[in-house]
Amino acid sequence: MIAILLVAALAGIGGWMLWRSWGRPLLDLRDLIRALANDEPHQPIVRSSLRPFTQISADLGRVADRLRRQRRQLADEGFSLRAILGSMVEGVIIVDHSQRIRLANDALYTMFELTQPPINRTVLEVFHHPELTSAIDRSFREVRSVVLELHDAPRIGESRPDRHYRINLAPLMPTNGSTPVGVLGVFNDITEVRALEAVRREFVANVSHEFRTPLAIIGGYVETLLDGALDDRPMAERSLQTIKKHSERLNLLIEDLLSISRLEHRTSTLECRAASLREILQRVIEQLEPRIRERNAEIELALDVDLVEMDPARIEQVFFNLLANALQYAVVEGALVRVTSRLKGAEVEIVFSDNGPGIPYRDQPHIFERFYRVHKDRSRDAGGTGLGLSIVKNVVMAHGGRVSVRSTPGAGASFKIVLPVRQPSV
């Protein structure tokens, strides 16, 4: 059409008027459509008073308005989607029928420590778990939600810990259709939940074991007494002494368990005040005097810091457990336990050092765990509950401090407690 008009104009048959009425408006329409296609913010105006051109121009204007609204709506929805996915702690993916990942949020990158973008890569390539691909396939095939628990162990050469995930897979259905267009996967990290469950199972097993032995001994001696040992006074006295010993051990175990429970659940309030480390240690030494004499041990105090804000009763329990622990594991006469304190900034470091047999390296990461014993048989024979060092850790942490151990097997051990000199005001 434009070419014909140009020829007509050159031929001189009213070309100028024809160009003004039809040619220029057609070029304006072309520029307007091109501007709409390129999403240009400012569109050209069709310069014509002819009805066909004004109608087309009005229709194109309405199309442009609708496109702007749709683009704005898509931008708002995209922003909302990015904001929602970015704020989620759960990992999210969307996969298509070929099991290629089409969308993944930031939490997924963090969960799996992804160094390469997962977009357009297959699920198997990214996660290396055939059971996950099978579950996605089942969600597509059966058009239903699938729940999967995944144990993600580190591969060769990786140093990350084992992780456990609960994955909820749901098919994405179109508005009108019965075939899924994709599958949405939501990853929940349940590693801590599984770890707590393992601790709970171990705790129940340990408590059951600790209670079973003294109860069995008490029950055995009661049966002995009922079978006629009451008439044998020496035997009756030995039986009652044994029953008393193990009932006291059960009571001690219960008290230790209650102490740990109160400390871990913060139901035990600390009564902090300025107190003397030396006075507390002197009281502990007096309580342990029989054991000290039995071991022919020497307790040496070298305290550069004395007054500290703390709960004296709780810290006395800590010092008692550490000193009793050092005496209990001393294998030779002439044991030496040295207690030092020194100021380090706003904290005080208290160290209990001994010249005992030390702690094997394999045991050192576990000695503050409940019921953990380095020498299990000797601990039970001495009446220990395996909770002493766990109580130490919980009391120190309740004060806002920390505890650690350093030991070379065969060359003694050092337990270091770090406490704030002043407790923060509530």
What pLDDT, on the 0 to 100 scale, is given for residue 350?
Answer: 93
**Average pLDDT score over residue span 20-25:** 64
Give residue 122's pLDDT band: very low, low, confident or very high (50, 70, 90).
very high
Amino acid at 153: A
At residue 148, does pLDDT exceed 70?
Answer: yes
**Average pLDDT score over residue span 63-75:** 71
- This prediction has a pTM of 0.53
What pLDDT, on the 0 to 100 scale, is given for residue 374?
Answer: 67
What pLDDT, on the 0 to 100 scale, is given for residue 426?
Answer: 46
Give residue 324's pLDDT band: very low, low, confident or very high (50, 70, 90).
confident
What pLDDT, on the 0 to 100 scale, is given for residue 136?
Answer: 93
What pLDDT, on the 0 to 100 scale, is given for residue 425?
Answer: 65
Tens-place pLDDT, residues 173-226: 887 777 888 999 999 999 888 887 877 787 777 777 777 878 888 888 888 888
Per-residue exposure over 258-289, b if at least 16 CB sit within 10 Å of its own CB, e if not: ebbeebeeeebebebeebebeebbeebbeebe
What pLDDT, on the 0 to 100 scale, is given for residue 231?
Answer: 78
CA distance 145 to 125: 23
- The string of DSSP codes covering 202-265 is HHHHHHHHHHHHHHHHHHHHHHHHHTTGGGSHHHHHHHHHHHHHHHHHHHHHHHHHHHHHHHHT
CATH numbers and ranges of domains, the chain: 2-84 (no CATH), 89-189 (3.30.450.20), 199-268 (1.10.287.130), 269-426 (3.30.565.10)
Q: What percent of the chain has pLDDT over 70?
A: 79
Tokens 């609204």 sit on residue: 69
| 65-70 own/partner pairs: CB under 8 Å, 24+ apart | 67/36, 67/39
Give residue 50's pLDDT band: very low, low, confident or very high (50, 70, 90).
low
**Average pLDDT score over residue span 342-369:** 87
